[in-house]
Structure 1
Amino acid sequence: MRKDKQKVIGEPMTDEQIAAFLSARPYAGESVEQHILTRAYRGLRAHDFERFIDMFRQEGFDLDARDAQDKTFLQNIREHAQAEDYIAALERAGAH
């Protein structure tokens, strides 16, 4: 790579691209909130996920919705080795 060129890793996501994750719906038997959060967590970088959380809450979704095992999304990802930025974003948003 030439010295005057800067490496670009991923283009910034638009609000519309991030908001598209709000339309995800489960097939059956799963919490809508858990499904949406899981899809966004898997598909967004941490700083985009933080933007997504604001949109999620503005749409009236519950960050503390529980899954079939009675666990919140935050409780589930606490077990993931590299989720610290996502956990911090959820905690800043008031998730438990």
Structure 2
Amino acid sequence: MAAINVSLQIIPKVKDEDTYRVVDEVIKLIQQSGVPYIVGPMETTMEGELDELLEIVKKAQNVCIREGATRVLSVVKIDYKPEGVTMDEKIYKYRT
């Protein structure tokens, strides 16, 4: 299967002052996974195989719970086409 994009917005139910700390732990999980990713102000976009990316999404829920969240709201967007899709093809013209 060709590489695709999955964007993950994760909203852990924690005290306001803990939100960024918990989200940072999710971003650390994504970094450690080795997949290409871009952190944005509202979501993080990853590139890779669908099964691998969905496994990261699944693990992200557990990271939030481990870090003290009592509930986790996640918004997942998948950009798929059979021949593959890259982050670069969508944003290269906006990079300097």
The structure whose residues are more often helix, as a share, is 1
Tell me the TM-score range normalised by the shorter chain: under 0.3
TM superposition score normalised by structure 1: 0.28
Bigger Rg, which one: 1
Higher relative contact order (CA 8 A, sep 6+): 2
Relative to its length, the structure with more strand (as a share) is 2
